[in-house]
Chain A
Amino acid sequence: MLDLKHISKTFNPGTVNEKKALVDLSLHLDSGDFVTIVGSNGAGKSTLFNAIAGVFYVDSGSVELAGEDITFKPEYRRSREMGRLFQDPMKGTAPHMTIEENLSLAYLRTAKHQRAFFSRVTRQEREMFRYQLSLLDMGLEDRMKQPVGLLSGGQRQALTLLMATMVPPKLLLLDEHTAALDPATAQKVLSLTREIVAREGITCLMVTHNMHNALSLGNRTLMMAGGKIVLDIAGEEREGLTVEDLLSRFRAGTGRELDNDRILLSE
């Protein structure tokens, strides 16, 4: 589904601030893969996501999505086939627009409507939004005419998740999307994520700093350090792996401790 071939990215090349954020990184995802990514601060996790999403173009290498070379495709065009959630719940929704308008925007942007600038949301689709919102189990279906700015962070993040997946994307990028939420809400959004990704069979990449989630969610776990993937475990090898195992594997792989000041080792 996703193919990264030898991608590299250096920020501020030739200056004292030079930072090799991605170094000759290759990654292949199969369709339906749910991959979790952990790593130290500055390991290149977010840079990897930005490279995939097209926030910047990579210095070398190529990016392919579902067989199509998207290395030089601009960000807004990649977004048609990619859903993205950020750590900041404020980033994914328009606060002064209503829940319904936000959903309309997410729905109308899909490929089918791409050329129809003047298309509008029908009553039938509105009913579909209501149904989809009710699945979130947050009572949002009765607040469709309210501006999103009135919602809590967790509600906004759940709404963003719905907007990103309502029309299943080819790839879903989750960048610590529960990190800014309180534990109970984070758990709720996480289980919604698991549910939706499983139901729609979405190929998904998730950055997390919760080591337990990294192992319990999805079918494959990557560890990054210094702009490279240093550990890639899946299948039987991953079954039964504990957080301690993961940490010692990291140590063995890189010769140093995993030093992420936000890392969570507990459940």
Chain B
Amino acid sequence: MLLITQTALELGFLYALVAMALFLSYRILDIADLTTDGCFVLGAAVSVTVAAAGHPFLAIPAAMAAGACAGFVTAFLQTRLGVPSILAGIVTNTGLYTVNLMAMGWKSNSSLLGVDTIFTLLRDTGFAGEWHKLVLAAGVTILAGVLLLLFLGTRLGLSIRATGDNRDMVRASSINPTFTITVGLCVANALTALSGAMVGQYQRTVDINSGTGIVVIGLACLIIGETVLGRRTVVKGVIAVMVGSVIYRFIYAIVFYTKVVPVDCLKLLTAVIVALAIAAPTIKKWAAFQKRKLAAGRKGGV
């Protein structure tokens, strides 16, 4: 049981970075960035390959840089070339499949055997004992969250937030939306790749398909977190993605061990939850309207 809890927490924090990236792209910039799936694998692939070459630390910034590049491509397509934003993400994502294979040496999976990862290096120092993986996962994610919050308070960060909040205002206030969207998507994808990089070294393996559906899972985490904590402020939003991600991993663990539903069904379940959560305001409006119509009908008004 302790092991399950520990694993759920570890994975929760590691995948929280994806939800954090979506918080930036989807919530703050108001762009559904579908680069996420491929970008996650890209981060994992670069991380595993560089770690296999004996540089587990260098692997992390390298993966983030690769992710930022992917984000730049998506941003370039939509801001400079007029590709609709969702399509831009899909196009980049498709292209990334090949790039990811390339990063793994043209194999569909790659493993880290008998080499150091940032996790084994921390274990070898003896720090935190059994909990070393959790400490590292939580440490990196919280640090990323704090840095993201600090960034969002700067001139550039505020400009990015305004870009997603009121495009009319942005154009009249000397903010170049092309630039802010580009920076925002680069940062978001660097975070996604960071998540991939950490997970890659954590699991000591990467598979070309390991990113499938990550964007929906990330959105689920975001929505779960916001349901629990609310979404009034940016600080709450960043904490919410971590909470949401941990809760999601606990649900996953419970399903995995109790088999209340087959684990294979979890993606469908996640998709349904996300669809319902995003559709909730519309459904509520529709229900209220039907009620209103029904009430009018009863009075004989129609």
In contact, B162 and A105 (Cβ under 8 angstroms): yes
Indicate whether A95 reaches chain B with its CB closer than 8 angstroms: yes
A204 to chain B, nearest CB (A): 16
Stretch at the interface among B56-64, B93-101, B149-157, B211-219: B149-157
Q: When each residue 119-156 of chain A gets 1 if its CB lies under 8 Å from chain B and 0 otherwise, what string results?
A: 11100000000000000000000000001000000000
| Residue from A53, A78, A94, A116 within 8 A of B165 (CB atoms) | A94
Take A117-B156, A120-B153 as given contacts and tell me if A79 and B173 are in contact as well, using a CB distance cutoff of 8 Å.
yes
Indicate whether B175 reaches chain A with its CB closer than 8 angstroms: yes
In contact, B173 and A95 (Cβ under 8 angstroms): no
In contact, B159 and A105 (Cβ under 8 angstroms): yes
Indicate whether B158 reaches chain A with its CB closer than 8 angstroms: yes
Q: Which residue of B lies closest to A111 (CB)?
A: B174
Q: When each residue 54-79 of chain A gets 1 if its CB lies under 8 Å from chain B and 0 otherwise, what string results?
A: 01000000000000000000111111
A88 to B175, CA, bound (A): 19
Take A79-B172, A91-B172 as given contacts and tell me if A118 and B166 are in contact as well, using a CB distance cutoff of 8 Å.
no
How many chain A residues sit at the interface, stated as a range, is 35 or more
A88 to B166, CA, bound (A): 13
Residues of B within 8 A of A147 (CB): 232
In contact, B166 and A93 (Cβ under 8 angstroms): yes
| Residue from B151, B172, B174, B232 within 8 A of A92 (CB atoms) | B172
Q: When each residue 161-202 of chain B gets 1 if its CB lies under 8 Å from chain A and 0 otherwise, what string results?
A: 110011011111111110000000000000000000000000
B179 to chain A, nearest CB (A): 9
| Residue from B151, B162, B176 within 8 A of A94 (CB atoms) | B162
In contact, A94 and B161 (Cβ under 8 angstroms): yes
Take A108-B155, A118-B154, A119-B155 as given contacts and tell me if A93 and B169 are in contact as well, using a CB distance cutoff of 8 Å.
yes
A240 to chain B, nearest CB (A): 36
Residues of A within 8 A of B151 (CB): 118
Residues of B within 8 A of A74 (CB): 176
Indicate whether A22 reaches chain B with its CB closer than 8 angstroms: no
In contact, A84 and B172 (Cβ under 8 angstroms): yes
In contact, B155 and A86 (Cβ under 8 angstroms): no
A50 to B175, CA, bound (A): 17
In contact, B153 and A86 (Cβ under 8 angstroms): no
B148 to chain A, nearest CB (A): 13
In contact, A109 and B174 (Cβ under 8 angstroms): yes
A108 to B175, CA, bound (A): 11
Chain A residues 15 to 55 lying within 8 A of chain B, measured CB to CB, are 53, 55
In contact, A120 and B154 (Cβ under 8 angstroms): yes
A45 to B172, CA, bound (A): 17
In contact, A95 and B165 (Cβ under 8 angstroms): yes
Residues of A within 8 A of B154 (CB): 117-120
A96 to B168, CA, bound (A): 14
Residues of B within 8 A of A86 (CB): 168, 172
A147 to B177, CA, bound (A): 22
In contact, B158 and A104 (Cβ under 8 angstroms): yes
Q: Which residue of A lies closest to B162 (CB)?
A: A94
Q: Which residue of A lies closest to B150 (CB)?
A: A120
Take A104-B158, A109-B155 as given contacts and tell me if A96 and B171 are in contact as well, using a CB distance cutoff of 8 Å.
no
In contact, A105 and B166 (Cβ under 8 angstroms): no
Residues of A within 8 A of B171 (CB): 55, 75-76, 79
A79 to B172, CA, bound (A): 6
Residues of B within 8 A of A108 (CB): 155, 158
In contact, B155 and A117 (Cβ under 8 angstroms): yes
Q: Which residue of B lies closest to A77 (CB)?
A: B174
Q: Which residue of A lies closest to B177 (CB)?
A: A76
20 A-B residue pairs with CB within 8 Å: A53-B172, A76-B175, A77-B176, A79-B175, A90-B166, A91-B172, A92-B172, A94-B162, A96-B161, A96-B165, A97-B158, A102-B162, A104-B158, A105-B155, A108-B155, A109-B175, A113-B155, A118-B156, A120-B154, A120-B155
A-to-B contact residues, CB < 8 Å: 53, 55, 74-80, 84, 86, 88, 90-97, 101-102, 104-106, 108-109, 113, 116-121, 147, 163
Beyond A80-B174, A84-B172, A105-B158, 4 additional contacts (C-beta under 8 Å) are A75-B172, A76-B176, A90-B168, A105-B173
